[in-house]
Chains A and B, each alone.
Chain A
């Protein structure tokens, strides 16, 4: 579905270095790391929104850069913290968006509006953060997207909306045809719904693996006498912990 190889992006004060991972159909991959670790840069580089200095992106078996338009026909993207056209009605945004997709399915769109309880006559600004994400998902589902790329879709949501969204993510991949790559710093999201985990620290890839193998590989962080298996939160906190000598 998606294969990222040697992705590198250099900024004056930050470098994303040699990121490599792959995502199989029917799976959810969580991209974790603390704020500023390079998660958004990774996702934006995959989408060619920022120019990587090195690396290749294979999407649906094709080189993304060479086939950008056709690849984008089959993906759905939600960038965290960026909402679009807040003074426009959902119906207006959908009417414009549908023109760009060959596989747009009006019946599916109507179905998802109902399913997600979205009123097409409402304006974007009237939607809660969770509903905005759901609207973008409804648009993506209506053109039969196979790969979903979400940048921090759950941040800023209350626990109920977060749970609701994660439940929806599981449903999306159930038939094994769709995949989700989503970045988060909320480890409980991953416990609940990720199949694979890719961990980025200070622009470098620490590990990308199936969830249980990932957790197992970090058990060396246990302190002497500790018998309980470390959770994802323990792993992240212990990996990132800094000592201040003040």
Chain B
């Protein structure tokens, strides 16, 4: 498994994947729609998959002494590692901004617990649609991306807009006692991300088995 991940990081990943992953730091920008961070986390796999098609990455992997399902496993691992790394990168900056920018984010949601919950749901929805659609053919990256990015963007839009609605201010808070109320959102996010990953993997393996390369 480690070998497959190394292969993805050293050969398959477009340099852009590392840059977009690092964009987790954007949560320190004073006024910015932080949901963009998650959309960068969706855009990065798309560019890497396009690059993979150009470099015949799927062929190369399929010719290595691995099972066909390992080709799918490698791609899932790359996407998850990139998104979780992006998450980790945002964390110290989300803490820092509480002290550096106490006046909050006028553009949209704060980098709080609800934000992470919505982020996990965004990733989960994008990953499931993007990866299962891609592995139907292993080359139609654009179509898979279009199908996946529309619902992902809608979730981000809802997250950014809802905090401006009267009565929804609690979603925009970074006060510890208010953030407790946001905890269910992150729990739902974690569950949805797990379900999306496991069922998405199973469906993708089944679909990719049928593909003639």
Contacts and interface: CB of A to CB of B under 8 A. Distances in A.
Interface of A: 44, 47-51, 68-70, 72-73, 77, 79, 82-88, 92-93, 95-97, 99-101
B55 A72 contact: no
B69 to A, nearest CB: 11
B168 interface: no
Interface in B8-64: 10-11, 55-57, 59-60, 62-64
Contacts of A48: 68
Contacts of B62: 49
Contacts of B68: 48, 68
5 contacts: A83-B56, A84-B60, A85-B11, A92-B11, A95-B10
Contact of B11 (A50, A82, A96): A96
B65 A101 contact: yes
A85 B55 contact: yes
Interface of B: 3, 6-7, 10-11, 55-57, 59-60, 62-68, 210, 212-213
Contact of A96 (B10, B66, B212): B10
Given A84-B57, A85-B55, A50 B64 contact: no
Given A49-B213, A83-B56, A86-B55, A77 B10 contact: no
Contacts of B213: 44, 49-50
Contact of B59 (A73, A84, A100): A84
Nearest to A49: B213
Contact of B10 (A49, A68, A92): A92
A69 B59 contact: no
B113 to A, nearest CB: 39
B65 A100 contact: yes
A235 to B, nearest CB: 31
Given A49-B63, A84-B55, A100-B64, 18 more contacts: A44-B212, A44-B213, A48-B68, A49-B213, A69-B65, A72-B63, A72-B65, A73-B65, A79-B59, A82-B59, A84-B57, A84-B59, A87-B55, A88-B11, A97-B64, A100-B3, A100-B7, A100-B66
Contacts of B11: 85, 88, 92-93, 96
A47 B63 contact: yes
Contact of B6 (A49, A85, A93, A99): A99
Contacts of A44: 212-213
Contacts of A93: 11
Given A85-B55, A85-B57, A96 B63 contact: no
Contacts of A99: 3, 6-7
A96 B55 CA distance: 15
Contacts of A101: 65
A69 B66 contact: yes
Contacts of A100: 3, 7, 64-66
A92 B55 CA distance: 14
Contacts of A95: 10
